[in-house]
Amino acid sequence: MNAVETEYEACIAACQECVVACEVCISHMLVKKSNNDCPNCCRQCIAVCNMCIGALSGDWLHTDSICKLTSEVAAWCACNCREHDNEACQHCAEACERCAATCRELVAC
């Protein structure tokens, strides 16, 4: 396994973790009132993370652009979820931050 494959695997894992955390956050926020974009940001984050996983798995032509977009959306989602003082949102923010950082690092290589 070469370095690029290892970096791809790390990014895929971070995106998968982010998807799960966002799903939990959405479930938690269904009955809560939000004064920001949570849980809408989670829905969008799930969509771009799944697209990023597909791009990395399939070695798509525009993988770098998709990773950049995923990093931006995950960072935005982290900021929104971080504002809520509950375990689900805080865990989601942490997963989104890891995803954003991992995607950002992959694009920088």
Reported as a single tens digit per residue, the pLDDT across 37-50 is 999 999 999 999 99
pLDDT (0 to 100) of residue 85: 92
pLDDT (0 to 100) of residue 4: 63
Task: Please enumerate in sequence order all residues whose Cβ is within 8 A of that of 3, keeping only pairs 6 or more positions apart, or say none.
Answer: none
């920088």: which residue's tokens? 108
Cα 100 from Cα 42, distance rounded (Å): 13
Reported as a single tens digit per residue, the pLDDT across 6-39 is 889 999 999 999 999 999 999 999 888 889 999 9
Reported as a single tens digit per residue, the pLDDT across 54-79 is 999 998 999 999 999 999 999 999 99
Note whether 41 and 76 are within 8 A (CB). Answer: yes
In the predicted model, is pLDDT for residue 88 greater than 70?
Answer: yes
In the chain, what are the domains?
3-108 (1.20.1270.360)
How many other C-beta atoms lie within 10 A of the C-beta of residue 77? 33
